[in-house]
Chains A and B, each alone.
Chain A
Amino acid sequence: MTLPPGAEEARVTVASDTDIVTARQRGRTLATQLGFTSGDATIVATAISELARNIVLYAKRGEVIVVPVEERDNRGLIITARDEGEGIADIRQAMQDGYSTSGRLGVGLPGVKRLMDEFEIVSETGRGTTVIVKKWMR
């Protein structure tokens, strides 16, 4: 299985609400190019929207990178949301439903985890946060 032509990684600098829209639209386009169903493309776009929103909300600035991958007979997308903000002091707490330090965000990371197939987070206080999620085609 080879990746379709034109399905190249998308990299979006995220620092404002317009960048959130750009990031999720690039992600949706890539998902559609790979052959994701419209439902799964919407899932990908929604997850990117939340991850990009976290960046703007908590770190002010960062980037979202969407990379097409193939593994055995499956295609998928790896989405990396990276910032150099304050970092998350207690990741276990941040992964609890309903937890938010900004008081502005309702769902946060647990919601994103539910949308995706794989979820990984690395955060260091004062150094920033990187969230890596994967969605596979069915």
Chain B
Amino acid sequence: MEVPILKQGPYLIATIQSALTDADLLRLRDSLVEQVGRYRSRAVIVDVTAMDVMDSFASRTLRDIAQMIKLRGAETVIVGIDPDVAFAMVRLGLNLEGVVTTLDLEEGLALLDRHAKQGRR
């Protein structure tokens, strides 16, 4: 299942719409890392609201995305982690350390706009 990536001004917004296989997650990572350069985006938002499960592979891939995007000179925000998913992640011992998260897409965009105003990239 391909994850649609929307270019919105200086941001890329990837909205996960269904359960993803490992291969889907890796494709998402590669597309984002490539497109952030092609569109000279300042930030990437990954909306995970519809994700059914965040297991060790998914959370590690999201951490990888955030680090690779940072190396490309842009920011990453993960938005919309479901409360049940958050609980399962904590019990499993997973974390997204070093990755910026916000409640939802609206909060994610607001955070990036604040960073833009502060001149932070």
Contact = CB atoms under 8 A, between A and B. Distances in A.
A17 B57 CA distance: 11
B93 A39 contact: no
Interface string A104-129: 01111011101100000000000000
B55 A46 contact: yes
Contact of B56 (A38, A41, A97, A105): A105
Interface in B86-121: 87-89, 91-94
Interface residues on B, range: 20 to 34
A106 B19 contact: no
State the main secondary structure of chain B at its contact with A: helix
Contacts of A115: 88, 91-92
A107 B52 contact: no
A77 interface: no
Interface in B28-82: 52-57, 59-60, 82
A49 B59 CA distance: 13
A49 B93 contact: no
Contacts of B54: 46
A43 B94 CA distance: 13
B53 A42 contact: yes
A41 B19 CA distance: 15
A20 B20 CA distance: 10
B56 to A, nearest CB: 4
B85 A50 contact: no
Nearest to A52: B55
A111 B53 contact: no
A21 B91 contact: no
Which 10 pairs of residues, A with B, have the shortest CB-CB distance? A17-B22, A42-B84, A111-B92, A49-B55, A46-B88, A17-B21, A106-B56, A39-B84, A111-B93, A107-B56
11 contacts: A21-B21, A39-B83, A46-B92, A50-B56, A106-B56, A106-B59, A107-B56, A111-B56, A114-B93, A115-B91, A115-B92
Interface of B: 19-23, 52-57, 59-60, 82-85, 87-89, 91-94
